[in-house]
């Protein structure tokens, strides 16, 4: 048994415990509270004066699918041979040994939604995964936990190679056609009613999209501009599916539209420049404005666009520009956990949940903060042994 004693504990869902104790057993949180008895045989971590949060969750990243420190050899983020690739799976391209994954653990990021890029209209399977482990298969929490899709400038890149889509109209048409095809595929399955002879020819992409049509998982649509957001909403309503808006750079312009439909958004990456026209109206106020209206806001790094380990600072900047501190913490814990289909397992400190815990030297929104310890599944995955940043790598 592991006991974390002392420290200011941010449970996220059950308030703040000023001087808390957390008991961990068999990879799960066993108990949490102010005056818990610590069993004599427990390994005790003294967290006096420290800040404790659940493991941080990055709702949208490409960690080590787009590998760091090597060139094209490690670039596996966009299968840019076809704008519709629902059959491809992020898990087949993730290098768990890469620099970014190690940094994630070091930065207190214990869980990520790791997904294909935004080059394709339908990009493929995203995975909700832990960041600590040797092989991806043991790190998977839920897969697919969402299908990546994209509107706006990026997928239009196909037009330059003489292929559809070359316009926003083209992207929308391809998305519709693909969902229509999946709808027919689903109809055939339902009609077959278990009769193998009547089943459609197996199609990996269609099977993934059937999960979307059945609302088992969301279509997670990359949109920056508000007109692209409205296109995503239009198509979602036509096909009666759940979506999230990824990036939502102009989310603040269509707050009511998002709020009345309960569409979650994942904002970011914020520590970057406005490198293209669809980012021109980017403001760090978007998370605050949207959360105020009741929209469920998560914050992403979009690693490596912004480094995964800096997620807490992206949330801090959102707080600087109007998001409440509580919503800022939710945006990197429970909100992404729920969006990524694992809200019952991670995202808050509660008995029965996975023991994914971060011990910080300062409040996570203080720029001076460092991670003291990252605990994943009850195991100490990272421990800062001294002030030499590179000693503990």
Give the footprint of other proteins on this chain (CB under 8 A).
Answer: 68-71, 99-100, 271-277, 279-280, 303-307, 310, 313, 316-317, 319-320, 365-370, 387-390
Cβ closer to other proteins: 42 or 279?
279
Cβ closer to other proteins: 145 or 301?
301
For the range 14-18, what are the long-range contacts, defined as Cβ-Cβ under 8 Å and sequence gap of 24 or more?
14/348, 14/349, 14/350
**Cα dihedral sign, 32-35-38-44:** positive
Residue 362, CA atoms < 13 Å, CB-side half-sphere: 9
| Residue 328 dihedral angles phi and psi, to the nearest 5° | -65, -40
CB of 17 to other proteins, least distance (A): 24
CB of 235 to other proteins, least distance (A): 26
In angstroms, the CA 393 to CA 384 distance is 9
CB of 280 to other proteins, least distance (A): 3
CB of 183 to other proteins, least distance (A): 36
Cβ closer to other proteins: 227 or 257?
227
CB atoms within 10 A of CB 134: 9
In angstroms, the CA 161 to CA 367 distance is 44
Cβ closer to other proteins: 18 or 73?
73
CB of 100 to other proteins, least distance (A): 7
Cβ closer to other proteins: 157 or 200?
157
Cβ closer to other proteins: 44 or 279?
279
In angstroms, the CA 363 to CA 365 distance is 5
Closest CA to 32 of 69, 59, 56, 5: 5
Contact residues for 261 (Cβ-Cβ < 8 A; gap 6+): 233
Cβ closer to other proteins: 242 or 272?
272
CB of 275 to other proteins, least distance (A): 7
Q: Is 246 helix (H, G, I), strand (E, B) or coil?
A: strand
Kindly state the helix (H) or strand (E) to which residue 115 belongs, with its residue range. Answer: none
Cβ closer to other proteins: 244 or 286?
286
- In Å, how far are 30, 64, 212 from 69, measured between CA atoms? 40, 10, 35
CB of 329 to other proteins, least distance (A): 15
Q: Tokens in use for 364?
A: 């996570």
CB of 66 to other proteins, least distance (A): 9
Q: How far is CA 42 from its chain centroid?
A: 33
């Amino acid at each position: 048994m592991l006991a974390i004693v002392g420290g200011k504990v941010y449970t996220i869902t059950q308030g703040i415990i000023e001087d808390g104790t957390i008991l961990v057993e068999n990879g799960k949180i066993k108990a949490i509270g102010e005056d818990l008895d610590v069993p004599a045989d427990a390994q005790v971590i003294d967290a006096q004066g420290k800040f404790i949060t659940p493991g941080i969750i990055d709702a949208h990243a490409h960690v080590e699918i787009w590998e760091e420190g090597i060139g094209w050899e490690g670039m596996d983020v966009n299968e840019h041979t076809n704008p519709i690739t629902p059959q491809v799976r992020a898990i087949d391209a993730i290098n768990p040994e890469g620099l970014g994954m190690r940094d994630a653990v070091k930065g207190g990021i214990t869980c990520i939604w790791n997904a294909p890029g935004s080059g394709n209209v339908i990009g493929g399977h995203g995975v909700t995964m832990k960041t600590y482990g040797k092989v991806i298969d043991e790190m998977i929490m839920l897969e697919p936990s969402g299908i990546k899709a994209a509107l706006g400038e990026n997928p239009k890149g196909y037009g330059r190679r003489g292929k559809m889509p070359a316009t926003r109209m083209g992207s929308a048409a391809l998305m519709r056609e693909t969902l229509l095809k999946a709808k027919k595929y689903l109809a055939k399955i339902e009609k077959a009613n278990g009769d193998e002879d009547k089943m459609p020819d197996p199609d990996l992409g269609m099977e993934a999209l059937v999960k979307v049509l059945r609302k088992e998982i969301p279509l997670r649509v990359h949109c920056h501009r508000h007109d692209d957001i409205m296109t995503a909403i239009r198509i979602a309503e036509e096909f009666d599916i759940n979506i999230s808006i990824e990036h939502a750079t102009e989310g603040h312009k269509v707050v009511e539209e998002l709020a009345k439909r309960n569409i979650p958004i994942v904002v970011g990456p914020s520590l970057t420049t406005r490198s293209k026209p669809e980012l021109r109206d980017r403001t760090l106020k978007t998370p605050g404005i949207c959360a105020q209206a009741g929209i469920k806001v998560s914050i992403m790094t979009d690693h490596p666009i912004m480094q995964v380990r800096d997620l807490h600072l992206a949330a801090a900047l959102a707080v600087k520009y109007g998001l409440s501190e509580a919503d800022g913490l939710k945006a990197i814990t429970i909100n992404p956990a729920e969006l990524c289909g694992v809200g019952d397992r991670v995202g808050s400190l509660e008995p029965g949940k996975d023991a994914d815990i971060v011990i910080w030297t300062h409040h996570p929104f203080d720029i001076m903060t460092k991670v003291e310890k990252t605990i994943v599944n009850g195991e100490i995955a990272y421990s800062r042994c001294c002030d030499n940043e590179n000693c503990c790598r």
